[in-house]
Amino acid sequence: MSIEKYNICQICQENNPPENHYWKIHGLSIKNYYEKFFPKKDLYDKSPIVFKTPEQYELTDFNIKTNLKKYLESKSKKEGLDYLKIWLLKRKKNKNLIYAPGEFECKSLCFPSIKFFNEYYGINFYENLCEEIGLKLKYNYNQKIIYNQIPKEILVDTRESRPYIKLDLPIKISTLNFADYCTNPNTQNIFYERKEITDFCGAMSKEYSRFERELERAKNNGAYIIILIEVKYSDLLSIEYLPQTKWVRASSEFLMKRARDLYLKFDNFQMIAGGNRTECINLLNKLVKINDIQTFDIQYLINCKLII
């Protein structure tokens, strides 16, 4: 079914109706509307696709990512790649994608991680698929990590509430234009922002506009920001169930969509789920020594245990 059909009310034929249209005009919840007029079944186990949001429903063919993996493994590699190509083309058109999704984005979608692509289909299959459908690559997945950048010190912003102090390099408190940390010298204009999971939830919800403005300001100044979140990636997908985020009303689905929306608007940042605080300190110690770190997909490096 083409994406365009979802943009027309199947009852009154109104184009691009607002989400409250179905209830206000037709007395149907948006969930019941979609399930009635666009019934979908999981391609693997044939169970009805669970409606969460219109975007999720329109682009989802599996209720759980495990079913996607089993489906791909049940098909020939050519059939699997054909399905993934069609899925990416739909997302490209629906979201006006310019860049190929990185590991952080892929893992939040019902789409294979780049790690899975490389392990199951082979090295460079993901990059080749994206280039074939006209998506630009932000990261180079074939380059080697070389720790040849040795800064004099790490600058820590004066507003950083819980600064990393056990870093390999000397630290100096300073007022930074962006984020919480940067190297000195900072020839590539790269900054690092530390976020606990509660900070991430806030930035993707009530503080979202402020966060957008910060990224916009950084972009206008030629700065690149690496956002280091002190959690495992799996925690980002289960925020509703974590004790430290029990006060958060927004779902993981909503928060991760907000994060993906930022990737659609800005190309001067990347988010990383780096593990616990100690793991993030160790990670930062390594990142500041890698030249052209912005050309690496850091979440991919972590997931493949290429940088630990």
- Which residue's structure tokens are 């300001």? 217
Peptide bond between residue 185 and the one before it cis (omega within 30 degrees of 0): yes
Q: How confident is the model at residue 284 (pLDDT cuts 50, 70, 90)?
A: very high
pLDDT at residue 246, rounded to an integer: 86
- Who wins on pLDDT, 228 or 60? 228
Domains contained in the chain, number: 2
Q: Does residue 73 sit within a domain?
A: yes
Share of the chain above pLDDT 70, in %: 98
Buried b or exposed e, range 7-19, using 16+ CB within 10 angstroms? eebeeeeeeebee
Residue 1 has pLDDT above 50, yes or no: no
- Whether 287 is in a domain gets the answer yes
Burial class (CB within 10 angstroms; exposed 0-12, middle 13-18, buried 19+) of 100: buried
CA-CA distance, 232 to 198, in Å (whole number)? 13
Q: Are residues 165 and 211 in the same domain?
A: yes
Asked if residue 16 belongs to a domain, the reply is: no
272 and 166, same domain (yes or no): yes
CA dist 6 and 143 (Å) reads 41
- 26, 32 in Cβ contact below 8 A? no
Dist CA 239 CA 252 (whole Å): 5
For the segment 40-99, what is each residue's pLDDT rounded down to a tens digit? 999 999 999 999 888 788 889 999 999 999 999 999 999 999 999 999 999 999 899 999
pLDDT at residue 308, rounded to an integer:
65
- 52 with 105, same domain? yes
203: tokens are: 């930035």
Residues with Cβ within 8 Å of 220's Cβ and at least 6 positions away in sequence, in order, are none
Which of these three, 132, 167, 199, is where a domain ends? Answer: 132
Q: How confident is the model at residue 4 (pLDDT cuts 50, 70, 90)?
A: low
Closest CA to 60 of 34, 79, 73, 41: 41
| Residue 50 to residue 42: CA distance in whole angstroms | 9
Residue ranges of alpha helices (H) inside 76-232 are 77-95, 103-106, 114-116, 125-132, 197-203, 208-220
Question: Do 128 and 159 belong together in one domain?
Answer: no
User: In the predicted model, what is the mean pLDDT of the chain?
Assistant: 94
| Residue-number span of the structural domain to which 250 is assigned | 153-303
Q: What is the pLDDT of residue 149?
A: 87
Q: Which amino acid is at 33?
A: Y
Domain boundary among 132, 163, 188: 132
Same-domain status, 126 and 163:
no
In a domain, 143, yes or no: no
